[in-house]
Amino acid sequence: MSVELKPFSWERMIEAVEAVRERAIRATSALKQAGIPYAVAGGNAVAAWVARVDRAAVRNTQDVDILVRRADFDAVKVALEAVGFSHYELMGVDCFIDGPDGSPRDAVHLLYASEKVRPEYPAPSADVTEVEASNHYDVLSLEALVRMKLNSNRDKDRVHLRDMIGVGLIDESWLPKLLPEHAELLQTLIDDPDG
């Protein structure tokens, strides 16, 4: 397999982070202006929470996950297309790529509030009412974010949970308020913080 290597570049790294930030702000501003309830979820929500404690512990992410209500999908589509996004469905996931040259890899991905992302998940996603306002956009509350990360339990979710454990956002005091399967997973991550 052959790939084209470009030169090492701080500028390219900074541009990648800035592109995600710009995409998140443009999308959430459009939703806010249209009066559509939403919450930034996923890696950007984790980064927002971690940055409140230790900006050096922030991990960048390439896409933007936004929680919305399924009933608002048509309004979401109108709002996001008005600011340059194009609807795209990838393996059953509604996403919005950034213009004609956009990629699903760095798109805005929709998650649906109060629904299970996958049937085997122990609990549904959070609701869009479980938010905290930030300077730029509404972010899932810490409790809702932790529940969703425990629910998904993919490699990247466990990394995000370890990031939050590492800066002291979550600890063993959370265990009693979680579903038993979530509490068991969180205890495992607390016991083995380095994976």
pTM above 0.75, yes or no: yes
Query: What token pair was written down for 2?
Result: 């052959």
Residue 195 has pLDDT above 80, yes or no: no
Q: Is residue 115 one of the residues assigned to a domain?
A: yes
Is the alpha carbon torsion for 13, 17, 18, 19 positive or negative? Answer: positive
Q: Is residue 42 one of the residues assigned to a domain?
A: yes
How sure is the predictor about 91, in pLDDT bands with cuts at 50, 70 and 90?
confident
Q: Is residue 179 one of the residues assigned to a domain?
A: no
Range of the domain at 106: 11-141
Give the pLDDT score at 105. 86
Q: Is residue 79 one of the residues assigned to a domain?
A: yes
User: Rounded to an integer, what distance in angstroms lies between the CA atom of residue 112 and that of residue 124?
Assistant: 9
Q: What is the CATH number of the domain that holds 125?
A: 3.30.460.40
User: Rounded to an integer, what distance in angstroms lies between the CA atom of residue 161 and that of residue 43?
Assistant: 10
The domain total for the chain is: 1
Q: Is residue 174 one of the residues assigned to a domain?
A: no
Give tens-digit pLDDT for 2-55: 889 999 999 999 999 999 999 999 999 999 999 999 999 999 999 999 999 999
